[in-house]
Amino acid sequence: MKQVTLNPPSLTIREEVRPEDRIAVRDIVESTGFFSAAEADVAVELVDERLAKGPSSGYYFVFIENEGQVLGYACFGPIACTVHSFDLYWIAVHRDQQRMGLGLKLVELSEQAIRRMGGRRVYIETSGREQYKPTRGFYERCGYHEDAVMTDFYDEGDDKVVYVRKV
Amino acid sequence: MKQVTLNPPSLTIREEVRPEDRIAVRDIVESTGFFSAAEADVAVELVDERLAKGPSSGYYFVFIENEGQVLGYACFGPIACTVHSFDLYWIAVHRDQQRMGLGLKLVELSEQAIRRMGGRRVYIETSGREQYKPTRGFYERCGYHEDAVMTDFYDEGDDKVVYVRKV
């Protein structure tokens, strides 16, 4: 995979989760125009779980910030009852900060953290709908390949597509 | 699917979850000799979540009892961000009570409860290992078909097999 340099260099990376990330995560997820209100609620719930339970929540985060403002984030964690499989639950970059390579950088940072924790396979689930074609293309550019398609999983006519990458 | 009559007729069905089910669930899961200690812990955690949060835990249960003793149980719940998909997380029958149709009855009772809640697709995940061949055969007899196989998901050489049934 292509190595991405953070640009501008003032960007910083943070793995610690803070209460104010609840608002940042909602803002970012909603700014994309891509997720339903219910999905945004789930994104924030994962922050809440992490704040309440720490690492035992099973949710890990990486944030990319510019002078204290969160531009994008990823959320991932080990899959229960597996030896070395992790789910990459969320990757979202604020709409104003897209097309600068931050998404790819967030995937790389997540994979590095997953490897540190002993993970060897990373899974990403997404929709098979036309709207998600750019998303699927993005995962493929990140080195992921399609592992399974589950017909009508999300809704009638809305399949789940599972991508995987060995890390 | 064949209709199963509970036999003996003293068997009763319960959906309410009680604190003492923590012990019953661990006993049943361990009695099968089928699950690891970590998996038994997960089974009990789902009871804990349900006791702590009620229906908002997302975990629903059905127990089959004989004069107050739990013989087997199932745990299921809606899959977040889907319209009508449910996971059947656990079905376990105490080793001393197997081969009497209780497993099939638990699947039927779960499907009925899922339909009541608006569910239309039920998913079951299991291992592709040889040890789980009878389990997979059981799901197929219950009317489930294989929807996806994810290579090495649980561990090297241990695939995840996903079954689905429309209800």
User: What does the alpha-carbon distance between residue B2 and residue B16 come to, in Å, rounded to a whole number?
Assistant: 26
The DSSP string of B101-125 is SHHHHHHHHHHHHHHHTT--EEEEE
Contact B81 A162 (CB under 8 A): no
Contact B12, B65 (CB under 8 A): yes
Question: Number of A:B CB contacts under 8 A?
Answer: 57
Please give the span between the terminal C-alpha atoms of chain A, in angstroms, as a whole number. Answer: 11
Token match 């709908």: residue?
Answer: A129
| Weakest-pLDDT range from A8-17, A76-85, B22-31, B67-76 | A8-17
Chain B hits for A149, CB-CB cut-off 8 Å, are 148
Domain limits of chain B? Answer: 11-121
Which amino acid is it at B31?
S
Chain B hits for A155, CB-CB cut-off 8 Å, are 82-84
Between residues 101 and 130 of chain B, which touch chain A (CB distance below 8 Å)?
121, 123
User: In which band, very low, low, confident or very high, does the pLDDT at A10 lie, cut at 50, 70 and 90?
Assistant: confident
**pTM score above 0.80:** yes
Residue A73: beta bridge partners? A63, A92
Contact B121 A39 (CB under 8 A): no
Distance from CA of B85 to the nearest CA of A (A): 6
Nearest in space to A24 (alpha carbons), one of A70, A62, A85:
A70
Between residues 74 and 103 of chain B, which touch chain A (CB distance below 8 Å)?
79-85
Q: Which tens digits make up the pLDDT trace of B80-117? A: 889 999 999 999 999 999 989 999 999 999 999 999 99
A167 touches chain B (CB under 8 A): no
Query: Is 60 exceeded by the pLDDT of residue A7?
Result: no
Q: Which tens digits make up the pLDDT trace of B53-88? A: 999 999 999 999 999 999 999 999 999 889 999 999
Distance from CA of B61 to the nearest CA of A (A): 20
Query: Is 50 exceeded by the pLDDT of residue A118?
Result: yes
Q: Which residues contact B64 (CB under 8 A, 6 or more apart)?
A: B6, B11, B12, B13, B70, B71, B72, B73, B102, B105, B106, B109
Q: Which tens digits make up the pLDDT trace of A135-148? A: 999 999 999 999 99
Contact B164, A150 (CB under 8 A): yes
Contact B129, A132 (CB under 8 A): no
Query: Can you tell me the mean pLDDT for B134-144?
Result: 96
Q: Which tens digits make up the pLDDT trace of A56-83? A: 999 999 999 999 999 999 999 999 889 9
A42 touches chain B (CB under 8 A): yes
Q: Which of A123, A147, A153 is opposite residue B82, by nearest beta carbon?
A: A153
Chain A hits for B164, CB-CB cut-off 8 Å, are 150
pLDDT at A142: 97
Which amino acid is it at A115?
R
Between residues 131 and 150 of chain A, which touch chain B (CB distance below 8 Å)?
147-150
* Measured CA distances, A94 to A91, A157, B74, B127 (Å): 10, 28, 42, 39
> What residue in B sits closest to A123 (Cα-Cα)?
B153
> What residue in B sits closest to A85 (Cα-Cα)?
B153
Q: Which of B42, B82, B151 is opposite residue A155, by nearest beta carbon?
A: B82
Contact B148 A164 (CB under 8 A): no
SS3 B82: coil
Q: What is the CATH architecture of A11-121?
A: 3-Layer(aba) Sandwich (3.40)
pLDDT at A80: 87
pLDDT at B3: 47
User: What does the alpha-carbon distance between residue A85 and residue A122 come to, in Å, rounded to a whole number?
Assistant: 6
Residue A65: beta bridge partners? A12, A70
SS3 B28: helix
**H or E stretch at A141:** helix A133-141
* Measured CA distances, B146 to A150, B22, B107, B112 (Å): 10, 31, 16, 21
Nearest in space to A13 (alpha carbons), one of A69, A75, A70, A64:
A64
Helices A21-31, A37-53: crossing angle, 10 deg rounding: 160
Query: Can you tell me the mean pLDDT for B22-48?
Result: 95
Contact B35, B29 (CB under 8 A): yes
Q: Which tens digits make up the pLDDT trace of B2-22? A: 445 555 668 999 999 999 999
